[in-house]
Amino acid sequence: MQAVPIRFEQFNQLADQDAQQRILAARASLGKRAVLLCHHYQRADVYRHADITGDSLKLSRLAAQSDAEFIVFCGVHFMAEVADILSRPEQIAILPDLAAGCSMADMASLAKVERCWREINTLMNADAQFTPVTYINSAADLKAFCGRHGGIVCTSSNAPKILEWSFAQRGKILFFPDQHLGRWSGHKMGIPLDEMPVWDPDLEMGGLTPAQLERARIVLWKGHCAVHQMFQPAHILRFRNTYPDGLVISHPECSFEVCQQSDYIGSTESILSTVKQAPPGTRWLVGTELNLVERLAEEVKADNKIVQFMSPTVCMCSTMQRIDPQHLAWTLENLAEGQVVNRITVPQHEAVLAKVALQRMLDVS
Band (pLDDT 50/70/90 cuts) for residue 12 is confident
pLDDT tens per residue across span 193-202: 999 999 999 9
Domains, the chain, ordered by start:
8-101+319-345 (3.40.50.10800), 105-226 (3.40.50.10800), 228-309 (3.40.50.10800)
Buried b (16+ CB within 10 A) or exposed e, 311-350: beeebbbebbbbbbbbbbbbbbbbbbeeeebbebebeeeb
- Per-residue confidence (pLDDT) for residue 3, from 0 to 100: 60
Q: Averaged over 96-105, what is the pLDDT? A: 85
Instruction: Report d(CA 79, CA 1) in Å as an integer.
Output: 30
Band (pLDDT 50/70/90 cuts) for residue 1 is very low
pLDDT tens per residue across span 158-179: 999 999 999 999 999 999 999 9
Longest CA span, the chain = 65
Q: Averaged over 287-312, what is the pLDDT? A: 95
Instruction: Report d(CA 57, CA 304) in Å as an integer.
Output: 32
Q: Averaged over 149-165, what is the pLDDT? A: 96
168 alpha-carbon distance from chain centroid: 26
- Helix H or strand E encompassing 218: strand 218-221
pLDDT tens per residue across span 44-74: 999 999 999 988 778 877 877 888 999 999 9
Instruction: Report d(CA 143, CA 351) in Å as an integer.
Output: 9
Collect all residues with Cβ–Cβ distance below 8 Å to 186 and sequence separation of at least 6.
163, 175, 195, 196, 217, 218
CB 364 within 8 A of CB 158: yes
Instruction: Report d(CA 270, CA 104) in Å as an integer.
Output: 21
Cα torsion 262, 267, 273, 278 to 10°: value is 0
Question: At residue 132, does pLDDT exceed 60?
Answer: yes
- Per-residue confidence (pLDDT) for residue 119, from 0 to 100: 97
- Per-residue confidence (pLDDT) for residue 13, from 0 to 100: 86
Bridge partners of residue 88, in order along the sequence: none
